[in-house]
Amino acid sequence: MTRVTSRLNGLDFQQAVVYFGFLAIFLFFAVTLYDDGFLTQRNLTNIVLQTAPATIMAIGLVFALSAGEIDLSFGSIVAVSALSCAVILQDYPLPFGVAVGLGVGMGIGAFNGVLIAYLKLPSFLVTLATMGLFAGIARSMTDLRSIPVMNDTFTGIFGSGKLFSVPSLVIWTVIGVAVGHLIYRHTRFGAHVLATGDNPRAAQVSGIKVPRVRLYVMMICGGCAGLAGLLYAGRLQAAKYTLGESDLMTVIAAVIVGGTALNGGKGSVIGALLGSLLMGMLNNGLILMNLKVSDQMIVRGLIILVAVALSLRDSNR
Amino acid sequence: MKHLTKTCLSAAAFALATLPALAQTMGPQGETATPSNVVAVADADVEAVRAGNHTAALLWHDQSDFVNAVTAGATAEFERLNIKVVATTSAGFDAAKQRSDIETVLAKNPSIILSLPLDPVTSAAAFEEAKSEGIKLVFLSNLPSGYEHPADYAAIVTDDLFQMGKQAADALAKSMGGTGTVGWIYHDASYYVTNQRDNAFKTTIENDYPNISIVAEQGITDPARAEEIANAMLLRNPDLGGIYVTWAGPAEGVLAALRANGNKTTKIVTLDLSEPVALDMVRGGNVAAIIADEAYELGRAMAAAAVLDLLDQDVPPFVVAPAVTVTADNVAEGWMQSLHINAPASLTTSN
């Protein structure tokens, strides 16, 4: 009994919320929606496919938040990257489109990063401004038109394709999480990110190049948003200026519920994945429950509120 | 030569695409319109449909009074025919969310999907899975690119868009005594519904009212900018007799600009019902008329079109519901005719 109590005391409550929350909500939907197809392989696969872009964005945001920064502009980056890629693919082969899409994402991330790391501007204000700036650019670059993506290889790799029966979006999710987790937990750079977020002055004194870390995390965040843009373009076989626009709050909530601290120094890529899946599962289950749209929004909001409150409870102590 | 042929074909296609604005509402692919009251499930077929235990999903683009009324019309028709609505969603104008919504409801194997495709380009892939599973698709207003009738969908149902624009022109001209200058605030985007309505207004003024001239034209995409657009328009044209505003959201901003300028003479017409705009109208303010669609009837006709397709009966490809001109004199009746709900109390007690 003492051992159990001791282990419970040692459990990271903030990180555990997402595991228990995910399990509880999954079990609830599995029982209540058993006859409505929730547990079918197709539906469960759909949840992963639908959340793939948000999961990739969430991984980037884990790095930014862990370093004590925030990126509010990633939704706009998604749209600019997707549109850039779609426009390039109309006249050039696939590698150019992919390179431009990812390059635009990382480039905007670098732009944010330079303003934050070297001009010492607060990331909240910088990315709030660039969110509007790049949303406007996304609107103007194609005059509000949607751009079709006709390159079958691209839509296969980034959207509807499969490799050994595994959907490409699932593969991208696994690769993104594995690479993100590896860098975050098992490299010196990951440790520097956490140290910078935990105490930037101490990190600087101990030899970590804090501005460079800040620049890199914003580039990672932008690059992930760029990749998310490619995934959206592949999945929809088109790009539009609205892509990513509504993901900001969902992704922030997924990352916080996943155990990443808002004020830096702590985070989890696996938690972000579960947080993102939890959000997708909520959307999916509430629709299958045949709730009215307004009721879906209310229930989703309340569940996220509880999950975020529980996740942040530990760090507020 | 090849280039010339291509240019001629493009010109012909453009001419066809712009032709509808000249005379009447036509479908996105040039289909002629069928009035919605023609689309109905015959009494003789009702029992067969009721015994079929069919299901339907309603996948909307957003939430609004309009969507609620369309939903109510469709749901009432489905209830009459013992068709269960198994899911209702709102994509919040997010194309990716609409795709996810479609995938999610497929888990419930609906027989029918009623939806407003957000965008012809992005919706084409989104509805592909539902189409390939043989689900009866009825679209509101928009058509995914490359979809063919009747193989891919049962029908497109929409407002009588030309009539909406024309009735807006008629109402504004009447309020101005058939003479004066007009400002035209149109939706500056490639969007079938608003483009048709806006162009119908302009065409009607130009063709039917020789003593009225459009002296200012300004596109709008963000309703929040309507007030500054109206201010600039009034600054350059202080004697404007009337302003056409593409829909009610920006009309609220235009109204705010007129009030701020102390302008009580410039008349406004707009489209789609809005309580603040209607309140100004019933109080004898700047708003002369609001042109509304019969949203409840749109929903009923969508449901009926899907059921006719289930019965393997011919369904007209392009169905339109009539437009209603709502003025201070008929606001209660107009609200009921359009949305199938009572007008807000503020409107009926302000007369």
Which pLDDT belongs to residue A3?
A: 54
Each residue's pLDDT tens digit, B272-303: 999 999 999 999 999 999 999 999 999 999 99
Looking up tokens 């404007």 gives: B240
Ramachandran angles phi, psi of B235, nearest 5°: -65, -40
* A38, A42, A146: residue with CB nearest B122: A146
| Rounded mean pLDDT, A197-212 | 96
Percent of chain A with pLDDT strictly greater than 70: 94
Based on the fold, state whether residues B148 and B202 are members of the same structural domain.
Answer: no
**Which of A17-26, A64-73, B11-20, B298-307 is the least confident region?**
B11-20
Is A4 among the domain residues? no
Shared domain check, B194 and B136: no
**Same domain, residue pair B262 and B300:** no
Tell me whether residue B6 is in a domain: no
Same domain, B59 and B116: yes
- Considering its fold, how many domains does chain A have in total? 1
- For chain B, say whether A39 makes contact (Cβ under 8 Å): no
B3 within a domain of the structure (yes/no): no
How far is it, in rounded angstroms, from Cα A48 to Cα A280? 8
For residue B4, the SS3 value is helix
The string of pLDDT tens digits covering residues A275-284 is 999 999 999 9
With an 8 Å Cβ cutoff, are A145 and B100 in contact? no
Summarize the confidence of residues B187-196 as an average pLDDT. 85
State whether B83 and B151 are in the same domain: yes
Residues B28 and B158 sit within 8 Å (Cβ to Cβ): no
Mark whether B168 and B304 lie in a shared domain. no
Within a domain: A156: yes
Phi and psi at residue A149, to the nearest 5°: -110, 110
Same domain for B236 and B330, yes or no, is yes
> pTM of the prediction?
0.82
Copy the structure tokens of residue B234.
């009034």
Cβ atoms of residues A53 and A110 within 8 Å: no
Q: Are A193 and A59 in contact (CB under 8 A)?
A: no
- Reported as a single tens digit per residue, the pLDDT across A134-186 is 999 998 898 778 899 999 999 999 998 999 989 999 999 999 999 999 999 99
What are B260's two structure tokens?
């701020």
Q: Is residue B1 part of a domain?
A: no
How much is the pLDDT for B350?
55
With a cut of 70, say whether residue A47 has pLDDT above it.
yes
Binned at pLDDT 50, 70 and 90, residue A292 comes out as: confident
Cβ contacts of B197 within 8 Å, gap of 6 or more: B159, B161, B162, B164, B165, B168, B246, B271
At A61 the pLDDT is: 98
Q: Which of the residues B78, B93, B121 would you substitute to probe the A interface, choosing the one with the greatest number of A C-beta atoms within 10 Å? A: B121
Q: What are phi and psi of B114, to 5 degrees?
A: -105, 135
Cα A232 to Cα B230: distance, rounded to the nearest angstrom? 37
CA distance A8 to A2: 10
CB contact under 8 A, B119 and A245: no
Domain check: are B35 and B102 in the same one? yes
In this prediction, residue B31 carries a pLDDT of 87
Residue B205 has pLDDT above 80, yes or no: yes
Smallest Cβ–Cβ distance between B87 and the set A42, A49, A290 belongs to A290
Closest CA to B154 of B140, B169, B170: B140
Q: Which amino acid is at A140?
A: S
Q: Please classify residue A254 by burial: count the beta carbons closer than 10 Å to its beta carbon, then call 0-12 exposed, 13-18 middle and 19+ buried.
A: buried
> Does residue A200 have a pLDDT over 50?
yes
Residue A273 has pLDDT above 50, yes or no: yes
Q: Which of B9-13, B302-306, B339-343 has the lowest mean pLDDT?
A: B9-13
Q: Among residues B64, B112, B111, B72, which one has the least CA distance to residue B90?
A: B64
Q: What is the pLDDT of residue B1?
A: 36
Cis peptide before B150 (omega within 30 of 0): yes
Q: Give the count of domains, chain B.
A: 2
Burial class (CB in 10 A: 0-12, 13-18, 19+), A68: buried
Q: At B113, which CATH number?
A: 3.40.50.2300
Beta strands in chain A (DSSP E): 147-148, 162-163, 166-167, 238-239
Across the interface, whether the CB atoms of A242 and B101 are under 8 A apart is answered no
Instruction: Check whether residue B124 and residue B74 sit in a common domain.
Output: yes
**Pairing status of strand B267-271 against strand A238-239:** unpaired
Spatial CA neighbour of B349 closest among B324, B336, B331, B335? B331
d(CA B227, CA A176): 45
Residue A292 contacts B, CB cutoff 8 Å? yes
Structural domain harbouring B87: 19-159+295-321
pLDDT for A315: 55
Torsion, Cα B179 B163 B270 A139, to 10 degrees, reads -120
Contact indicator for B299, B79 with CB cutoff of 8 Å: no
Answer with the residue of higher pLDDT: A4 or B141: B141
What's the gap between Cα A308 and its chain centre? Answer: 16
Q: Does B100 reach chain A within 8 Å, measured CB to CB?
A: yes
Helix residue ranges per DSSP H, chain B: 2-18, 20-23, 43-50, 65-80, 95-106, 120-126, 128-132, 161-175, 192-208, 226-236, 248-260, 275-282, 295-310, 331-339, 345-348
Please write the tens of the pLDDT for every residue from A106-139: 999 999 999 999 999 999 999 999 999 999 999 8
Tens digits of per-residue pLDDT, B131-172? 999 999 999 998 999 999 999 999 999 999 999 999 999 999
Say if residue B29 is in the same domain as residue B119. yes
A15-29, A300-314, B8-22, B123-137: segment of lowest average pLDDT: B8-22
Are B256 and B142 in the same domain? Answer: no
Across the interface, do B107 and A288 touch by the CB < 8 Å criterion?
Answer: yes
Tell me what pLDDT residue A144 has: 78
**CA trace torsion A27, A33, A35, A40 (10° rounding):** -70
Question: Which residue from B92, B106, B119 is facing A240, i.e. has the nearest CB?
Answer: B119
Using only C-alpha atoms, what is the Rg of chain B?
Answer: 21
For residue A244, tell me if it sits in a domain.
yes
Q: How many helices (H) and strands (E) does chain A have?
A: 14, 4
Domain containing A141 equals 13-316
CA distance A153 to A156: 5
Average pLDDT over chain A reads 91
Residue the block writes with tokens 């005379």: B23
Q: Is the pLDDT of residue B12 over 80?
A: no
pLDDT band at A35 (very low <50, low <70, confident <90, very high): confident
Does residue A201 register a pLDDT over 90?
yes
| B197 in any annotated domain | yes
Q: How much is the pLDDT for B4?
A: 36
CB B296 within 8 A of CB B73: yes
CB A48 within 8 A of CB A42: no
Here the CATH number for the domain that contains residue A45 is 1.10.3470
- More confident position, B270 or B351: B270
Quote the tokens at residue A314: 């530990």
* A249, pLDDT greater than 50: yes
**Is B312 a domain residue?**
yes
Is there a contact between A49 and B103 if contact means CB atoms under 8 Å apart?
yes
Residue A50 sits at the chain B interface (C-beta within 8 Å): yes
Residue A6 lies in a domain: no
Average pLDDT, stretch A269-277? 96
To which H or E segment does residue A204 belong?
Answer: helix A200-205
Amino acid A11: pLDDT: 56
pLDDT band at residue B65 using 50, 70 and 90 as cut-offs: confident
Provide the pLDDT for residue B17. 37
Percent of chain A surpassing pLDDT 90: 75
Is B23 in the same domain as B93?
yes
Q: A288–B104: do the CB atoms touch at under 8 Å?
A: yes
Is there a contact between B125 and A236 if contact means CB atoms under 8 Å apart? Answer: yes
The answer to the question of residue B11 being in a domain is no
Helix axes A269-288, A168-186, angle to 10 degrees: 150
